[in-house]
A and B are shown apart, each in its own frame.
Chain A
Amino acid sequence: MRHADPLVSLRAVSRRWGRLVAIDGVSLSVRDGEFLAILGPNGAGKSALLSILDATLRPSSGAVSIFGGDPWKTTERRRAQLRAAIGVVPQRADFNALIPLTVREVAAIGRQRGRAFSSRLTTEDHRIIDQSLAVMGVAHLSQRIYRALSGGEQQKTQLARALAQKPAMLLLDEPASGLDLFWQEQLTDMIGHLSEATRLPIIMTTHIVSHLPPQCRRAALMRNGRILFDGPADEALSAARLSELYGFPVEIVKRGGRRHCLGAEETVT
């Protein structure tokens, strides 16, 4: 793969389940260091698109290239190695609340990285885990049981787990959804700083405009499985385009580099 080539690219990708079309002819590419937001209402197909980008969902048609190769023209073992290079943070991590793993053990999952089952954690692994926990501000919770944490702390731990993978790309699926305002702000700031500090390519889905940090400079608008617009964030996140996306008039307020979307009827000061 040449340096200028995109890290991931989709060409006319569709995913159908019977008559249901979740992804409909999507084409997009992401280059190293880019922060792409995929914005759209619930049911737009954002999560399905991320699953295609992390090689867990096979498209029904179209061409997928991840790090220069088609993940579906290789073995399951190679696909597992490919996934190890992609850090994924799900909307709200599905986890088994019976299992008493500590925060540190959850972050250590990231060091599995498609290795042999019997491989042990090295000194370097421990250093990377400690560093990831510190970057996400959860080092002081490392010996706490994960299931006992608040939703925001769990999401930060999931981000630490993804960072511990030392990924070549981060995929964030509505990471701040369902959290209270305090944690929404914390996570949004943290993701912005992470992008700035690491220059990792990030693809983040959301349906809430204010969850996008100022560091996000490109946005794709998605509805009914299609990309309606893909371009600079300033252009994509305009009142006119978002009104069209959500199907009712909205206004955009910009504060501290972040945008907030309000219903047009509301008073904006």
Chain B
Amino acid sequence: MMLVWTLAALGSGFTSGLLGLYVVGLNMPFLGIGMAHAAMAGAVWALMAGAPVFPCALAAALTAGAALAWMATTRVRSDLGTLTSILLSFTMGLAFLGIGMNQGDMSPMLSLVWGSLLFVRPLDVALLFALGAVFCVFLFFCRRPLDTLLFSRGAARSCGLNERPLLMVFMGLAALVITINLKLTGGLLMYALLTNPAAAAFEVAASMPSARRWAAGLGVSSTLGGFAVSYGLDLPTGACIVMMSTALFAVAAVYARRKSP
């Protein structure tokens, strides 16, 4: 079982670290927690309707991602960060509305909020690795337009980049990565894993290829390091992973301050 946990920590750290680079770059720190609540809302309403929980949670996250991409490319004044916060508040409201109306067992829904690396199955790990591979292929082929979007949406638009289909695909993949990671890490931990390694990577990286390597590496270091500390000291795994990712960010920030003026 130890091998499955280690592989789950590895896959989770890699995918969320890499995805986080684009989430932070697009100024959407609340994307992880927003999508987690969308998945949670999907799970709650699925429980009420007697439908399968995980597919409904995934469908809700995908819908939220598509809505966000559509709004971001429609002429609204709010930026992606604000739109993500609006998505978070809406999905949170939807989830709690469902919780208020639901009288049944809430444990499948709560597992999406908290997750657990220790209850992960080999199938979840296989799914995570497959998704990681798909995400890497997407980044390999679309890294230039994505980097352009991150750098300046104004420049992207003026050079004729049609950002809507690109954002739609990106948000779809983000919804998949986040929802599958939720089973392992939970919504609250996802927030830290999408933000901290990526922010640390941007502190130390001198180019986008190196930022991608740093983000994936720091994501893996956060999950594996946190898991090792948790196992060794018999402490809660999620909390140890969050602490580890925050400590790595602090080290990266201090290193970057010393290196540059």
Interface of A with B (CB < 8 Å)? 54, 56, 76-77, 80-88, 90, 93-96, 98-102, 105-106, 108-110, 112-114, 117-118, 121, 145, 158, 161, 165
User: Which of A76, A84, A109 has the most B CB atoms < 10 Å from its CB?
Assistant: A109
Q: Is the CB of B147 within 8 A of A110?
A: no
- Nearest chain A CB to B80 CB, angstrom units: 11
The 15 sampled A-B contact pairs (Cβ below 8 Å) are A77-B162, A80-B162, A82-B160, A83-B157, A83-B158, A83-B159, A93-B152, A100-B207, A101-B151, A105-B147, A114-B160, A121-B144, A145-B206, A145-B207, A165-B159
Q: Is the CB of A54 within 8 A of B202?
A: no
**Which residue from B148, B151, B161, B211 sits with its C-beta under 8 Å from A114?**
B161
**Which residue from A95, A96, A118 sits with its C-beta under 8 Å from B141?**
A118
Given A93-B154, A117-B145, decide whether A98 and B160 contact each other with a Cβ distance below 8 A: no
Kindly list chain B residues whose C-beta atoms are within 8 Å of the C-beta of A100: 202, 205-208, 210-211
- Nearest chain A CB to B147 CB, angstrom units: 7
Q: Is B243 an interface residue (CB 8 A)?
A: no
Look across to chain B and name the residue whose beta carbon is closest to the beta carbon of A146.
B151
Roughly how many angstroms separate A199 CA and B5 CA in the complex, as a whole number?
Answer: 65
Kindly list chain A residues whose C-beta atoms are within 8 Å of the C-beta of B202: 98-100
Interface of B with A (CB < 8 Å)? 24-25, 27, 141-142, 144-145, 147-148, 150-152, 154-162, 164-166, 202, 205-208, 210-211
Roughly how many angstroms separate A106 CA and B206 CA in the complex, as a whole number?
Answer: 15
- Nearest chain A CB to B230 CB, angstrom units: 31
Roughly how many angstroms separate A95 CA and B27 CA in the complex, as a whole number?
Answer: 12
Given A100-B211, A145-B206, A161-B159, decide whether A117 and B141 contact each other with a Cβ distance below 8 A: yes
The 5 closest A-B pairs by CB, nearest first: A84-B160, A114-B160, A118-B141, A88-B158, A80-B162
Given A83-B157, A117-B141, A161-B159, decide whether A96 and B148 contact each other with a Cβ distance below 8 A: no
Look across to chain A and name the residue whose beta carbon is closest to the beta carbon of B153.
A94
Kindly list chain A residues whose C-beta atoms are within 8 Å of the C-beta of B141: 117-118
Kindly list chain B residues whose C-beta atoms are within 8 Å of the C-beta of A82: 160
Roughly how many angstroms separate A88 CA and B208 CA in the complex, as a whole number?
Answer: 24
Q: Is the CB of A99 within 8 A of B150?
A: yes
Q: Is the CB of A86 within 8 A of B158?
A: yes
Kindly list chain B residues whose C-beta atoms are within 8 Å of the C-beta of A102: 207
Roughly how many angstroms separate A141 CA and B205 CA in the complex, as a whole number?
Answer: 19
Roughly how many angstroms separate A34 CA and B164 CA in the complex, as a whole number?
Answer: 34
**Which residue from A80, A83, A87, A95 sits with its C-beta under 8 Å from B152?**
A95
Roughly how many angstroms separate A82 CA and B158 CA in the complex, as a whole number?
Answer: 9
Given pairs A100-B202, A117-B142, A118-B142, 9 additional interface contacts (CB within 8 A) = A96-B27, A98-B24, A99-B25, A99-B202, A100-B205, A100-B210, A106-B151, A112-B156, A117-B141
Look across to chain A and name the residue whose beta carbon is closest to the beta carbon of B166.
A117
Given A81-B160, A114-B161, decide whether A99 and B166 contact each other with a Cβ distance below 8 A: no
Q: Is the CB of B159 within 8 A of A109?
A: yes
Roughly how many angstroms separate A98 CA and B200 CA in the complex, as a whole number?
Answer: 11
Q: Is the CB of B152 within 8 A of A94?
A: yes
Kindly list chain A residues whose C-beta atoms are within 8 Å of the C-beta of B161: 80, 112, 114
- Nearest chain A CB to B125 CB, angstrom units: 29
Kindly list chain B residues whose C-beta atoms are within 8 Å of the C-beta of A56: 157-158
- Nearest chain B CB to A119 CB, angstrom units: 8
Roughly how many angstroms separate A109 CA and B210 CA in the complex, as a whole number?
Answer: 19
Given A98-B202, A100-B206, decide whether A109 and B155 contact each other with a Cβ distance below 8 A: yes
Look across to chain A and name the residue whose beta carbon is closest to the beta carbon of B159.
A112
